[in-house]
Amino acid sequence: MKKILIFVITILTTSIISIVLFSYLTGNPTYPESVVQTTIHSKILNEEREVIIHLPINYDKKKKYPVMYVLDGSSQDKHLAHKFDILSTAGYVPETIVVGIPNVSGKGRQRDYTPPYMKMDIDEKDSLLGAGDQFLSFMEKELIPFVEQNYSVSKNRSLAGNSRGGLLVMYSLLYKPDLFKGRFCFSPAFWRDDNLIVNKVSDFLAKNEDLSSFLYLSMGEDENEKMKNGFTEMTKTLSKKENDQLVWYSDFTKNADHQNNAEISASVGIRKWADYLNTGE
């Protein structure tokens, strides 16, 4: 009887591990009941877009919640939503709705997260330019209204992106500065096109000295030199600004590389974001 029990437990354990591994490897994570997975049609992008909406554990329609929009949905949104649940339960940050935006494809990711003055693929001589401006228009005119019509949210919006997604987040500050109150750039690809986005930011800040916003940047200490150099140049550019209303933080994350920097540093960024909100900036 004991051997049978051990055999059954072994089978069940193996099955659970297999399901979890399959979910992880196929990019289709399992979600709790508080997560809504839906699809909206975008006329701007001319395609169907999946949306993953993480509601707070104790979601109450009578309350108004901040919203964080997360690029690379299905890979980056889950750990951010989990951190908000933990930190809000502990009273460190406000309960927040996290909206993950999955990519339609690898090429679609290149298209959506690359600014319109940069090549989608620097290794292709005749590469098309990015369409990050169109993607942000999709967010502004279609996605955000959809979320605001269907859920109890405040006008306190933030945007988070990793790697090339971090590049788009920074571009959003230049193209749609009022669309988000806070921005999170994890391991951002600022190096692309010889640090072109760094120069764009420098010019933008010089012309917008009254800009009021929050910005958190992080880079893993173990990432490659190309990534770290672009990040350092952006930090230098931000350090030269004369605008005290743009509150920004820049961290090199210890023992982190390109694969795990976002997960390790996100809690720090979220806490700083909460502190910014509490000061009434």
For the domain that residue 263 is a member of, what is the CATH number? 3.40.50.1820
**Same domain, yes or no: 243 and 139:** yes
Dig out the tokens for 89 from the structure: 């339960």
Q: Is 1 in the same domain as 72?
A: no
Predicted TM-score (pTM) of the model is 0.88
Question: Which two structure tokens, joined as six digits, stand for 10?
Answer: 């072994």
Same domain, 37 and 15: no
Same domain, yes or no: 2 and 53 = no
- Domain count of the fold of the chain: 2
**Are residues 273 and 180 in contact, defined by beta-carbon separation less than 8 angstroms?**
no
Q: Is 49 strand, coil or helix?
A: strand
Residue 171 · residue 188 · CB < 8 Å: no
Residues 203 and 217 in one domain: yes
Q: How many CB atoms lie within 10 A of CB 7?
A: 10
| Among candidate residues 215, 213, 227, 277, the one with its CA nearest the CA of residue 257 | 227
Distance, CA of 274 to CA of 42 (rounded, Å): 32
Same domain (yes/no): 4, 84: no
Note whether 23 and 85 are same-domain residues: no
**Number of neighbours of residue 120 by Cβ within 10 angstroms:** 19
Asked if 199 and 244 sit in the same domain, the reply is yes
Q: Range of 25's domain?
A: 1-30
Residues 14 and 82 in one domain: no
Question: Do residue 5 and residue 125 come from a single domain?
Answer: no
Domain match, 140 and 267 both: yes
Cα–Cα distance for residue pair 281/134, rounded to 1 Å? 29
Strand duo 182-186 + 153-162: pairing: parallel
The amino acid that residue 224 corresponds to is N
Q: In Å, how far are 99, 120, 146 from 78, measured between CA atoms?
A: 10, 27, 20
**What distances in angstroms separate CA 184 from CA 2, 34, 157, 172, one per listed residue?**
53, 24, 12, 11
Per-residue pLDDT of the chain (281 residues; tens, 9 = 90+): 545 544 434 444 444 434 443 443 344 556 677 899 999 999 999 999 999 999 999 999 999 999 999 999 999 999 999 999 999 999 999 999 999 999 999 999 999 999 999 999 988 888 999 999 999 999 999 999 999 999 999 999 999 999 999 999 999 999 999 999 999 999 999 999 999 999 999 999 999 988 999 999 999 999 999 999 999 999 999 999 877 889 999 999 999 999 999 999 999 999 999 999 988 65
Query: Burial level of 180, CB count in 10 A (0-12/13-18/19+)?
Result: buried
Residue 5, token pair as written in the block: 């029990």
- Residue 42 amino acid letter: S
Tokens standing for residue 251: 């961290």
Identity of the amino acid at 268: V
The first and second tokens of residue 64, run together, are 């108004």
Same domain, 88 and 5: no
